[in-house]
Structure 1
Amino acid sequence: MTTVVKIGGARAVDPEGALSDVAALVDEGEDVVLTHGGSTAVDETLEELGQDPTYVETPGGVVGRFTDENTMDVFKMVMPGKLNTDLVESLQNLDVNAVGLSGTDGKLLEGKRKSAVRVKEDGKKKIKRGDHSGTIESVNADLLETVLAGGYTPVVSVPVLGKEKEGGYTAVNADADRAGAAIAGALEADLVVLTDVSGIYEDPDDESTKIDSASTPEAFEAVKSAAEGFMTKKVMAAEEALEGGAASVTVASANAETPISSALDGEGTTLEPGVLEDATEVER
């Protein structure tokens, strides 16, 4: 069984334990695909360049980044550049023969570019144009399986390859959680989403209310109701992963001593395919 691990890009996330855990799993003969976020690093780089990051809220209440042309240039520099290279370097120092890939390599992650997005501003629905983002529609699983079969550990980053309406491709931004979900679905893998909290809480401000697992549609409705802020997208990604064929999804803390192994052993919040039966469709 392959494990897909998504390491969050929040400032409070320390990847060191996860990388050591990847090395331990690979040493035991397990196949691991690592994906990563990087919104904090992108925001910091934009600010260093004198630009303000732009976030928008969809009519459904989901907050996300608006990626204009300048922001896209920074994404290309930071995500498959510095962040991906740093992770590959760290894994090589742990004797893991890692290979850095972006979603544009070999059409690894492909979808349609969204040149405009629907947003809610001052209570009104509007169309904001000039966006460089996309929704992933296909994963080149053969490429990942070939890399894994060769004894390498893929480290995957956005951007993805966005198809333009008039033909051709453009590198576009995509949500890193949903990229991990697409990969896990394509590989029928377990997905571990590592973040700066220990799971999904019934009360977002109280860690003691962590939901351990959900395996029925009713339980999953409770998870979706509890998710707020950044966790909303992680729950959306979890549903997409399970719909795509993932074996399970666990949201857990990146800062545990052995975060991936602990998540696979039941730490965090684990969602299983049974949650999909008659489940309510999430707004995308």
Structure 2
Amino acid sequence: MPMQLTILKIGGNVLDQPAALHDALDYFAALPGAAVLVHGGGKKASQVLRELGHEPVMIDGRRITDAATLEIVTMVYAGLLNKDLVAQLQRRGCNAIGLSGADGNSVLATKRPVKTIDYGFAGDVQAVNAVLLAGLLDLGLRPVLCPITHDQRGQLLNTNADTIAKATATALATHGYQVSLRYCFELPGVLRDLHDPASVIPELNPSLYADALADGSIGGGMIPKLDNAFAAVAAGVSEVIIGDLAAHRAGRGTRCRADG
């Protein structure tokens, strides 16, 4: 029988609020079975950039990562944030181990090609080292992955954490795990009406998602997250759940599953 594995992704809305982060780490530490935490960067990198005389540049919510920005986000994401999360989990009796993509060759990426926008040293995930992560899980450790990857040629890259979570889920799903991927963000789930938090869509499959895209009931920033969700489901992940922490605790949110 496949081993149960939960992958929890937390973003800036959690990282930037001490109370929300406290609750999310309590939730992660109490998860049964094996678990992996994937985190984004939050506002801390932008704060440190400004303190060091660099103005952050964002386009459509994505950071433009020039050489100076890459140095700073690596220090913040792979250093300060990642190690603080590990320390806070150890405090909760959760034996965590923090990793960047370069550690143990855990997440390999390539520099995003320039199309209409040059994102600089942004990375697109190519592979996740499932053997390494499974070995750590077998030792009773809980990996904590930050959004810094590498290209195997010595270049670090700033990479979208949602995509890292999806790629980690799909890699481990093909390595004998029954994977539940959980995106924890600020809304109770995917909403039919952004102004009505009670309008959560409880379940989506690829057909329903396609219909919702066609009629415009889902759009904007939810599309990249749902694209990742359904790519994971198509690659063998058992389920993807999107919602805030309260929804995850209550077994609610939006469940993304395969057709049928």
Asked whether the two chains share a fold, i.e. TM above 0.5, the reply is: yes
Alignment of 1:54 with 2:57, yes or no, is yes
Q: Which runs of 5+ in 1 are unaligned?
A: 58-62, 120-127, 276-284
For 2:9, what is the secondary structure of its paired residue?
strand
Residue in 2 that maps onto 1:183 = 168
Residue in 2 that maps onto 1:85 = 83
Residue in 1 that maps onto 2:35 = 32
TM-score where L is the length of structure 1: 0.81
One-letter code aligned to 2:204:
A
Residue in 2 that maps onto 1:281 = none
Deviations 1:119-143 (A, max 9, x none): 3xxxxxxxx3x71011101110011
In 2: Cα distance, 1:245 partner to 1:140 partner: 17
Residue in 1 that maps onto 2:159 = 174
Higher-strand-fraction structure = 1
In 1: Cα distance, 2:248 partner to 2:228 partner: 18
**Matched-pair contact (CA < 8 Å) for 1:79–1:158:** yes
Give the number of aligned pairs. Answer: 248
**Matched-pair contact (CA < 8 Å) for 1:178–1:240:** no
For 1:76, what is the secondary structure of its paired residue?
helix
For 2:112, what is the secondary structure of its paired residue?
strand
Deviations 1:55-106 (A, max 9, x none): 224xxxxx42211111111111111111111111111011111111111111
In 1: Cα distance, 2:5 partner to 2:248 partner: 12
For 1:89, what is the secondary structure of its paired residue?
helix
In 2: Cα distance, 1:228 partner to 1:41 partner: 28
Sort the Cα spacing of 1:215 and 1:240 in 2 relative to 1 into closer, same or farther, 3 A: closer
For 2:193, what is the secondary structure of its paired residue?
coil
Deviations 1:217-258 (A, max 9, x none): 13454168444443332122212322332111111103x2xx
Deviations 1:166-196 (A, max 9, x none): xx23110110011101101111211000011
In 1: Cα distance, 2:96 partner to 2:241 partner: 23
Alignment of 1:142 with 2:127, yes or no, is no
One-letter code aligned to 1:21:
Y
For 1:15, what is the secondary structure of its paired residue?
helix
239-248 vs 219-228, which moves further:
219-228
Percent of matched pairs sharing the same residue: 30
Alignment of 1:41 with 2:44, yes or no, is yes
Alignment of 1:269 with 2:254, yes or no, is yes
Offset at 1:12? 5.0
**Matched-pair contact (CA < 8 Å) for 1:182–1:240:** no
Residue in 2 that maps onto 1:278 = none
Where does structure 1 differ by over 4 angstroms across 4 or more consecutive aligned residues?
none
| RMSD, aligned α-carbons | 2.1
Residue in 2 that maps onto 1:251 = 242
**Matched-pair contact (CA < 8 Å) for 2:128–2:171:** yes
For 1:207, what is the secondary structure of its paired residue?
coil
Residue in 2 that maps onto 1:232 = 223
One-letter code aligned to 2:162:
D
**Matched-pair contact (CA < 8 Å) for 1:31–1:148:** yes
239-248 vs 73-82, which moves further:
239-248
For 1:116, what is the secondary structure of its paired residue?
coil
For 2:146, what is the secondary structure of its paired residue?
strand
Alignment of 1:242 with 2:233, yes or no, is yes
Offset at 1:35? 0.6
One-letter code aligned to 2:236:
G
Residue in structure 2 matching 1:17, options 9, 12, 23: 23
149-158 vs 15-24, which moves further:
15-24
Q: Which runs of 5+ in 2 are unaligned?
A: 174-178
In 2: Cα distance, 1:252 partner to 1:5 partner: 11
